[in-house]
Structure 1
Amino acid sequence: MFVAEEDSSLSRFEQDIRSVQSRLKSYLFASVGNRSDADDILQETNLVLWRKRSDFQDGTSFWAWSQRVAFFQLMAFRKRRSQNRLILDDDVVHLMAAEAPDTLSHEKEPQEKRLRSCLAALPERQRHLVEGHYFERKSLKTLAKNFATTVPAVGQALYRARHSLQLCLQKKNSTPSS
Structure 2
Amino acid sequence: MGSSDQSDQADSSHFRKDLLAVVPNLRAFAMSLIGSSDRADDLVQETLMKAWAKQSSFEHGTNLKAWLFTILRNEFYTQMRKKGREVSDADGMHAAKLAGHPEQMGHLDLQDFRKALERLPSDQKEAIILIGGSGFSYEEAAEICDCAIGTIKSRVSRARARLAELMNVDSEDEFGPDAVTRQVMTGGSKSIA
Q: Quickly name the TM-score band, shorter chain normalised.
A: 0.5 to 0.7
Query: Closer, same or farther in 2 for the Cα pair 1:32/1:56, shift >3 Å?
Result: same
Could you say which structure has the higher helix fraction? 1
C-alpha separation in 1, matches of 2:47 and 2:166: 29
**Aligned-CA RMSD value:** 2.9
Q: Which residues in structure 2 correspond to 1:118-133 (within 5 Å)?
A: none
| 1:78 alignment counterpart | 80
Give the Cα separation in 2 of the matches to 1:86 and 1:105: 22
Q: Following superposition of structure 1 onto structure 2, how do residues 28-177 of structure 1 map, counting pairs within 5 Å?
A: 28-83=30-85, 85-87=86-88, 92-104=121-133, 167=166, 172=181, 173-175=184-186
Give 1:13's aligned residue. Answer: 15
Q: Among residues 2, 10, 28, which one is paired with 1:26 in the alignment?
A: 28
Identify unmatched segments of 5+ residues in structure 2. Answer: 90-117, 136-161, 173-180, 189-193
Tell me which of the two structures has the higher relative contact order, counting C-alpha pairs closer than 8 angstroms and 6 or more residues apart. 1
Label 1:87 to 1:8 Cα distance change in 2 as closer, same or farther (>3 A).
farther
How many residue pairs align between the two structures? 116
What is the deviation of 1:52? 0.8
Q: Secondary structure at the match of 1:58?
A: coil
**Contact 1:45–1:73, Cα closer than 8 Å, also in 2:** yes
* Distance change in 2, residues 1:17/1:47 (3 Å): same
Q: Is the 1:28–1:42 Cα contact (8 Å) retained in structure 2? A: yes
Which deviations, in whole Å up to 9, do the C-alpha atoms of 1:110-144 show, x marking residues without a partner?
xxxxxxxxxxxxxxxxxxxxxxxxxxxxxxxxxxx
Distance (whole Å) between structure 1 residues aligned to residue 21 and residue 45 of structure 2: 15
Structure 1 runs (4+) deviating above 4 angstroms are none
Identity %: 21
* Length-normalised TM-score, structure 1: 0.56
Q: Distance in 2 between matches of 1:72 and 1:105?
A: 17
Q: 1:93 to 1:10 in 2, by over 3 A?
A: same
**TM-score for both structures, normalised by structure 2:** 0.52
SS at match of 2:60: coil
Name the SS of the counterpart of 1:60 in structure 2: coil
